[in-house]
Amino acid sequence: MTTSAFPFGRLIRLALLCLGAIVFLAPYVFMISTAGKAQSDIFTSSLSLVPEHFNYVQNFTKALSRVPMGRLLWNGVVVCGLIFFFQVLVAIPCAYAMAKLRFRAARMMMVLVMLGLLVPIHATALPLYVAFDRTSLLNSYAVLVAPFTISVFAIFMFLQFFRAMPDDLIHAARLDGMSELGIVARVIVPNAWPAVTAFAIFSVVAHWNDLYWPLVVISRQDFATPPLGLMYFRAAEAGDDYGALMAATLTITLPLVAVFLLAQKRFVEGITMTGLKG
Amino acid sequence: MASVTSMAMPGDPAAAHRLSEARIAWMLALPAIVLLFLFVLLPVVAVIILGFTDFELGYGTFRFVGLENYADLITDRTFRRSLWNTAVYTAIVAPVSICLGLAIAMLIESETAARSFFRTAYFLPVASLIVAMATVWQYMFHPTIGPLNGLLSLVGLSGPNWLGSSGTVLYSLSIIGVWQSVGFNMVLFLAGLTAIPRELYAAAEVDGARSAVDRFFLVTWPMLGPTTLFVITISITNAVKVFETVKTLTEGGPNKASEVLLFTIYQEGFVYLRVGYASAMTVVFLAILVVLMFLQYRLLDRRVHYT
């Protein structure tokens, strides 16, 4: 019975999946096609995907020269790198202490972590902005990184991971005369690698894409992150030169998409592991 | 005898060990605790307090005004509009992206060909810079040169001014919102689906669940309970937090038709610098998140079957 229904059902399934994929990929196709079109081309034949005259070089030259594209991407790398580094540095020891050491504050810490999961940057941005304004720290890498050095989500995730780790591993290390700090550095961290990579994916995607906080604290182009830089570019182009705009968009989208395509499996695993975020 | 004295002694090694263990634990957790207070708890307390003041950035003094800000919020038409728009946006994006995510996950799960291609295709928007992709959507939605209206005119329809008219702007933003979040939900559902033991389907078939629909409601749906719960909360909270597309594409316009909660807060707090008033709005925003969290634990939790 199932075999006779098989080809027809499968055909419908494949058709639906293909149709959906076309719809989902359409913006990328148009982005790539429009990035190569001249202004006149864009305003006449909007449905032809292949540019009439290949204008990629001109559009990319515009995109790269109107805003300091290299600088923007570099800022994105620096900010995401620093945020990730501090998040892991702070969260791993804390999660280890909560999972494997006995101390009274552990339960209170758990409550704090759960509360912290609830609070997005949008809720704390106002007082933080006032504080950074008072300390004249606006427009710096420090202000972009500082509020995210603590990630309760990282603590939560590492905590789950460490709880599943066998206690014997730690006991053995203690018997070998390792200090607790040594255990964290040489036993916990190497074993926490899957959790760290999964968290890295989550953290980098979140902060590479974040617009809210950079928009609030950065007003100079030197410290603009990619999303903010693209906002400046849009403003400078008055939003009408779609060829150059798409070239800029492509340049800024490409790094993360390329990383995603290369490390796809890890990426999806990471989102599955970290996706359980509220 | 020796053991008894050693237990009573203050220098008992076990107690001393516990003490040193606690001390080390504190040491390891201290940086996290300090930063948590500095960047999360303190600012939350500050935002609640600021909500009771008329603090404006750039002015030296401020005074406590009690509930005045909240009273103003109730009559503030922009704020009411932004609450309503956020609710409409959420009411569209969350259910549609959940249902589509589940449907796509089930299609991919039951299909053997090109699985990883489909997964990649649907997931790509999640990994893309939303500000950038919003720009692409702006082109797609362009009333005269946009491909969307170009396609519509092929079949003789004249498309709307998607982002430019107040009647359609919120729906257009919702389309982008759905496009962007389906892949995320799909991956979570895929993970949930692969975790369902195959024997359950065989057992259901033995019990007379012959059709795919029967099997879905007998096995798949209940077994996906915990996943669905997570997906629902994530989708709703993410939809409530919509900001990037609004800021990039519409600035709340036209005629405040796409004014959403976070955009209004941003505008009041960081453009007009009325920190006190914006703080009161933020408290409302936080309250919504708290209520959602509460609902997740109280209402939905009961209907979920854990394995």
Q: Do B26 and A119 touch (CB under 8 A)?
A: no
Distance from CA of A25 to the nearest CA of B (A): 6
User: What pLDDT was estimated at residue A238?
Assistant: 56
Instruction: Say if residues A116 and A152 touch (Cβ distance below 8 Å).
Output: yes
In this model, does residue B135 exceed pLDDT 80?
yes
Token couple for B12: 């008992």
Q: Do A101 and B132 touch (CB under 8 A)?
A: no
Q: How far apart are CA A132 and CA B301, in angstroms?
A: 40
pLDDT band of residue B93 (cuts 50, 70, 90) is very high
Chain B residues with CB inside 8 Å of A35's CB?
A: none
CATH classification of the domain holding B136: 1.10.3720.10
Size of interface A-B (CB pairs under 8 A): 274
Q: Do B130 and A28 touch (CB under 8 A)?
A: no
Mutate to test the interface with B, among A205, A260, A268 (most CBs of B within 10 A): A268
Q: Which among B33, B147, B237 has CB closest to A47?
A: B147
Range from A236-240, A272-276, B169-173 carrying the lowest mean pLDDT: A272-276
Establish if A236 touches chain B: CB-CB under 8 angstroms.
no
User: What pLDDT was estimated at residue B41?
Assistant: 93
In this model, does residue A46 exceed pLDDT 60?
no
Instruction: Say if residues B252 and B246 touch (Cβ distance below 8 Å).
Output: yes
DSSP for B99-148 reads HHHHHHHHHHHH--TTHHHHHHHHHHHHHS-HHHHHHHHHHHT-TTT-HH
Distance from CA of B279 to the nearest CA of A (A): 7
Instruction: Say if residues B245 and B191 touch (Cβ distance below 8 Å).
Output: no
Q: Which residue has the tokens 């589509």?
A: B100
Distances (CA, A) of A86 to A81, A82, A90, A203, B40: 9, 6, 6, 11, 16
Instruction: Say if residues A55 and A243 touch (Cβ distance below 8 Å).
Output: yes
Q: Do B187 and A211 touch (CB under 8 A)?
A: no
Find the angle CA(B226)-CA(B231)-CA(B237) to the nearest 5 degrees.
130
Chain B residues with CB inside 8 Å of A96's CB?
A: 28
When pLDDT is averaged across residues A142-150 and rounded to a whole number, the result is 94
Average confidence score pLDDT of chain A: 84
Average confidence score pLDDT of chain B: 86
- Shortest CA distance from B261: residue in chain A: A122
Chain B residues with CB inside 8 Å of A257's CB?
A: 124, 127-128
Mutate to test the interface with A, among B18, B27, B34, B36 (most CBs of A within 10 A): B36
- Sequence letter at residue A274: T
Establish if A118 touches chain B: CB-CB under 8 angstroms.
yes
For chain A, give every domain's residue range.
Answer: 69-273
Is residue B66 included in any domain, yes or no?
no
Is residue B299 included in any domain, yes or no?
no
**Tens-place pLDDT, residues B151-172:** 888 887 777 888 888 889 999 9
Instruction: Say if residues A25 and A257 touch (Cβ distance below 8 Å).
Output: no
Q: Do A97 and B107 touch (CB under 8 A)?
A: no
pLDDT band of residue B12 (cuts 50, 70, 90) is low
Q: Do A21 and B118 touch (CB under 8 A)?
A: yes
Is residue B200 included in any domain, yes or no?
yes
Into how many domains does chain B fold? Answer: 1
> Across the strands, what pairs with B64?
B53
**Tens-place pLDDT, residues B59-83:** 778 888 888 889 988 998 999 999 9
DSSP 3-state assignment of B11?
coil
B5 vs A135, residue with greater confidence = A135
Q: Which residue has the tokens 């989902």?
A: A24
In this model, does residue A2 exceed pLDDT 50?
no
In this model, does residue A276 exceed pLDDT 80?
no
Q: Do B187 and A275 touch (CB under 8 A)?
A: yes
Chain B residues with CB inside 8 Å of A256's CB?
A: 127-129
Establish if A7 touches chain B: CB-CB under 8 angstroms.
no
In this model, does residue B129 exceed pLDDT 70?
yes
Q: Do B179 and A27 touch (CB under 8 A)?
A: yes
User: What pLDDT was estimated at residue A216?
Assistant: 92
Chain A residues with CB inside 8 Å of B122's CB?
A: 20-21, 24
| Sign of the CA dihedral with B285 first, then B291, B294, and B295 last | negative
pLDDT band of residue B116 (cuts 50, 70, 90) is confident
% residues pLDDT > 70 (chain B): 92
Distances (CA, A) of A123 to B9, B197, B287: 51, 41, 10
Establish if A94 touches chain B: CB-CB under 8 angstroms.
yes
- The closest of B171, B148, B187 to B93, measured between CA atoms, is B171
Range from A13-17, A59-63, A237-241, B5-9 carrying the lowest mean pLDDT: B5-9
Structural domain boundaries, residue B239: 84-260
Q: B208 burial class (0-12, 13-18, 19+ CB within 10 angstroms)?
A: exposed
Q: Which among A124, A246, A268 has CB closest to B119?
A: A268
Instruction: Say if residues A218 and A228 touch (Cβ distance below 8 Å).
Output: yes
- The closest of A37, A54, A57, A35 to A45, measured between CA atoms, is A37
Is residue B128 included in any domain, yes or no?
yes
- Shortest CA distance from B211: residue in chain A: A2
Q: Do B131 and A278 touch (CB under 8 A)?
A: no
In this model, does residue A263 exceed pLDDT 90?
no
**A44-48, B10-14, B245-249, range with greatest mean pLDDT:** B245-249
User: What pLDDT was estimated at residue B307?
Assistant: 39
User: What pLDDT was estimated at residue B169?
Assistant: 92
Establish if A231 touches chain B: CB-CB under 8 angstroms.
yes
Is residue B181 included in any domain, yes or no?
yes
User: Could you give the residue ranges of the DSSP H alpha helices within chain A?
Assistant: 2-34, 39-44, 56-66, 69-100, 105-118, 121-134, 141-145, 152-163, 167-175, 180-183, 189-191, 193-209, 212-217, 226-237, 242-262, 264-274
Token couple for B20: 């040193």
Range from A44-53, A223-232, B262-271 carrying the lowest mean pLDDT: A44-53
Q: Which helix (H) or strand (E) holds B22?
A: helix B13-36
Q: Which residue has the tokens 């926490």?
A: A192
Chain B residues with CB inside 8 Å of A120's CB?
A: 241, 289
pLDDT band of residue B300 (cuts 50, 70, 90) is low
Q: Do B135 and A246 touch (CB under 8 A)?
A: yes
Q: What is the pTM of this model?
A: 0.88
The answer for A 251-270 residues in CB contact with B (under 8 A) is 252-253, 256-257, 260-261, 264, 267-268
Q: Which among B32, B127, B282 has CB closest to A205?
A: B127
Chain B residues with CB inside 8 Å of A242's CB?
A: 139, 142, 145
When pLDDT is averaged across residues B32-54 and rounded to a whole number, the result is 93
- Any idea of the CA torsion for B3, B9, B10, B12, to the nearest 10 degrees? -10
Q: Which CATH class is domain A69-273?
A: mainly alpha
- Shortest CA distance from A274: residue in chain B: B188
pLDDT band of residue B13 (cuts 50, 70, 90) is low
Establish if A150 touches chain B: CB-CB under 8 angstroms.
yes
The answer for A 31-90 residues in CB contact with B (under 8 A) is 31, 34, 42-43, 46-47, 89-90
When pLDDT is averaged across residues B214-230 and rounded to a whole number, the result is 84
Q: Do A256 and B127 touch (CB under 8 A)?
A: yes
Range from A55-64, A158-167, B288-297 carrying the lowest mean pLDDT: A55-64
